[in-house]
Every structure is written in structure tokens, then in C-alpha cells.
Structure 1
Amino acid sequence: MEYIRITDITDPLFVQMHRLMQQIFPKEEVLAFDLWKEPLADPGIRVYVAVHEGKVVGATEYRYYPDFNVAMTDFTIIGQAGLGIGRFLAQKRQEDLFALAKASNNKLFGVFAEVYDPYRVEKFEFGGIKPMDPFVRREVLSHLGYKRINIDYVHPSWKNDGEAVTGLDLCFLPYDEATVSISAELVAKFLKRYYAVLPNKPQAWYDMISKIEKQDVLALLPL
């Protein structure tokens, strides 16, 4: 299996990846094809596909923030069971993130990720791909060491229509297992930067940020 970075929407592998995203994710979670041009060209955004026998069978997008010394896993797609795609992507992504942190004279503090709460959201089938089932994905993140940040989480729709997307948790993977909380200031600053690309945010998102900023630390709870 090959781990190949995509930096251009004209790449045939990106066409395959975007099609796979549309099959897997809810429509409000998928950025329109043409709107990928700038993100793919951004050196700070890492988009990689897992290619097996010439076919895109998985993908992941992530980014590293040197000034925060944290990363964000935007998404992970497993397009086929039985190939070990999830482990392959997780290992390759971690190796890359560790190298990026080292290049900035840092040791990576941790990684943010969003995950659906299947106990609150049952309607998403994620293309019928069992490894993408919300129950499976949540348990995989738990096995990897991710913790749920203790906030009522909401994020702006990627359709940029100002709608609030609920039913998810914001998680964090601390590489120091003794870490039981995270700076509320870090979380607020991270979310404001991460969603700066979306000008149309719902009031619920601003209310959440305001609530976070009034706290010192946020507990990291089991998934």
C-alpha cells in the first residue's frame, strides 16, 4: 500500500478521494470539489491517500500548528475492510506529525479530532462501510488514546451556510498519558483558528467559544 500526498485538485487520485468522501460522509461534512483548490495548495494542510493496486482505498487530512504544538486530524476514511487501512493511515500520519514537530524543535503535545457520538446520532451509515460505523470509529479513537474534551460541542457546517452541526464530540490525544485536562485557552484559540476559513458561523458556536474562554482547564474524559 502506498501513502501519497495530494496537492492539486487535478490529480486523478483526488478525484477518487473526493468521490469516496461523498460516499462516506454526510453532505454537510464534505467541502465542494472546487473549494479544495486552495486547501490542497496550502503547505500546512496534509492530505494523503492510501493507494492499493492503483485505487484510492483510504485517505486522511491533518495539520500541525507549530505555535500551539498540537495537530488536528480533519478526517480519516477507510474505504474497504480487511486491508488494514486504518492502522496504515494512523501510523503514517503519526510518523509525519512527529517529524513536523521535530522540525520545529518540539515534541508533539497532542492531536485534536472530532468524532460522532453514535448514542446521539444514529442516522449516518457512512456509505455502508463497517469500519466507518460511528461505534467502531469511536472505539478506535479510544484505543488510540483519545479523550473526550468536557464541553457541549458544536461546529459550523462545512457548507458555510451558518448552520450548527451537533452530535459530535471534540477529542484530544495527549502523548503524555498522565494528562487529565487541557488548557481552555488552547482549545478556544485552536477552534477559532481552525474555523477561521468559515465566515458564516452559527451563534451556538460563538456561545460555545465564550463558555470555553471563561474556564481555565477542560477535563479529558474517557470516550
Structure 2
Amino acid sequence: MEYHRITSIEDPLFKKMHQLMQNVFPPEEVLAFDLWKEPLEDPGIRVFVAVHEGEVVGATEYRYYEDFHVAMTDFTIIGQAGLGIGRFLAQRRAEDLNKLAEANGKKMYGMFAEIYDPYRVDHYEFGGVKPMDPYVRREVLSHLGYKRLDFPYVHPSWNNDGEAVTGLDLCFLPSDENKNELETDLIVQFLRRYYAVLPNKPQAWNDMVEQLASVPTVKLLPL
């Protein structure tokens, strides 16, 4: 299996990746094809696909914030069962991030991720791909060491229509597995930068960020 970075919408594998995204994610979570041009050309956004026998069978997007010493996993897609795609992507992503951190003279502090909570919202089928089942994905993140940040989380719709998307948790994978709380200053700075690309934010998101800024830390709880 090949770990291939995509940096242009002209890459033939990008069309396959985008179709895979449409197959497994809700429509409001998938950025339109043409709108991927700038993100793919951004050196800070890292989009890789798992290629098996010429086909895109998995994908992951993430970014490393060198001033925060943290990363964000935007998404991970497993397109088929029985190929070890999840472990392949997780290992290659970790190797890549550790190299970026070393080049920056730092160690990774941790990595953020958003995860659907199927115990609150159970209608996401993710194209019928069983490894993408939200119950499975949540347990996989737990096994990897992710913890749930203890506050009600919403995020702006990627349609940039001002709608608030609920039914998710914001999670964090601390490099120190004994860490049980996270500084809200880091969370607020991260969220403001991560969603700066969406100018039309819902009021619920603004209220959430203001509430976070009013307390020093947030608990990290088991998934």
C-alpha cells in the first residue's frame, strides 16, 4: 500500500478521494471539489491517500501547528475492510507528524480530532462502510488514546451557511497519556485559527468559544 500526498486538484487520485468522501460523509461535511484547490496547495495542510492496486482505499487530512506544537486530524477515511487501512494511515500520519515536530525542534504536545457521538446522533451511516461506523470509529480513537474534552461542542458547517453542526465531541490525544486536563487558552486559539476560513460562524459557536475563554482548563475524559 502506498501513502501518497495530494497537493493539487489536478492529481488524478484527488477525484477518487473526493468521491470516496462523498460516499461516506454527510453532505455538509464535504467541501466542494473546486474549493479544494487552495487547501491542497497550502503547505500546512497535509492530505494523503492510501493507494491499493491503483485505487484510493483510504485517506487522511491533518495539519501541524508549529507554534502550538499540536496537530489536528481533519478526517480519516477507511474505504474497505480487511486491508489494515486504519493502522496504515495512523502509523504513517504519526511518522510524518513526528518528523515535522523534530524539524521544528519540539515534541508533539498532542492532536485534536472531532468525532461523532453515535449515542446522541445515530443516523450517520457513512455509506454503509462498516469500519466507518461511528461506534467503531469512536472506539478506535479511544484505543489510540484520544480523550473527550468536557464541554458542549458545536462547529460551523463547512457549507459556510452560518449553521451550527452538533452531535460531535472535540477530542485530544495528549502525548502524555496521564494528562487529564487541557488549557483552554490552547483550545480557543486553535479553534479560532482552524475555523478562520469560515467567516459565517453561527452564534452558538461564538458563545461556546467565549465560555471556554472564561475558564482556565477543561477536563479530558475517557471516550
TM-score scaled by length of structure 1: 1.00
Whole-Å Cα distance in 2 between the matches of residues 89 and 58 of structure 1? Answer: 8
Partner of 1:140: 140
Q: How much does 1:5 deviate?
A: 0.1
Partner of 2:217: 217
Partner SS, residue 99 of structure 1: helix
Whole-Å Cα distance in 1 between the matches of residues 5 and 79 of structure 2? Answer: 17
Moved more, 139-148 or 173-182: 173-182
Counterpart amino acid of residue 22 in structure 1:
Q
In the alignment, structure 1 residue 156 sits paired with structure 2 residue 163: no
TM-score scaled by length of structure 2: 1.00
Partner of 2:175: 175
Partner SS, residue 200 of structure 1: coil
In the alignment, structure 1 residue 62 sits paired with structure 2 residue 69: no
Whole-Å Cα distance in 1 between the matches of residues 149 and 67 of structure 2? Answer: 21
Whole-Å Cα distance in 1 between the matches of residues 178 and 172 of structure 2? Answer: 13
Structural RMSD (CA): 0.4
Whole-Å Cα distance in 2 between the matches of residues 122 and 135 of structure 1? Answer: 9
Structure 1 residues 92-131: aligned runs within 5 Å: 92-131=92-131
Partner of 1:18: 18
Partner of 2:50: 50
Structure 1 residues 194-213: aligned runs within 5 Å: 194-213=194-213
Whole-Å Cα distance in 2 between the matches of residues 111 and 217 of structure 1? Answer: 17
Partner of 1:87: 87
Partner of 1:187: 187
Whole-Å Cα distance in 1 between the matches of residues 185 and 175 of structure 2? Answer: 19
Whole-Å Cα distance in 1 between the matches of residues 177 and 50 of structure 2? Answer: 29
Structure 1 residues 71-86: aligned runs within 5 Å: 71-86=71-86
Aligned residues between the structures? 223
**What are the ranges of 5 or more consecutive residues in structure 2 without an aligned counterpart?**
none
- 1:136-179 Cα offsets, whole Å, 9 max, x none, are 00000000000000110000000111100000000000011121
After the TM superposition, which segments of 4 or more aligned residues of structure 1 sit over 4 Å from their partners?
none
Whole-Å Cα distance in 2 between the matches of residues 55 and 118 of structure 1? Answer: 30
- 1:187-222 Cα offsets, whole Å, 9 max, x none, are 000000000000010000000000000010010000
Whole-Å Cα distance in 1 between the matches of residues 130 and 212 of structure 2? Answer: 34
Counterpart amino acid of residue 81 in structure 2:
A
- 1:43-100 Cα offsets, whole Å, 9 max, x none, are 0000000000000000000000000000000000000000000000000000000000
Counterpart amino acid of residue 61 in structure 2:
E
Counterpart amino acid of residue 115 in structure 1:
I
**What are the ranges of 5 or more consecutive residues in structure 1 without an aligned counterpart?**
none
Whole-Å Cα distance in 2 between the matches of residues 20 and 212 of structure 1? Answer: 35
* Identity between Structure 1 and Structure 2 (%): 73
Whole-Å Cα distance in 2 between the matches of residues 8 and 66 of structure 1? Answer: 23
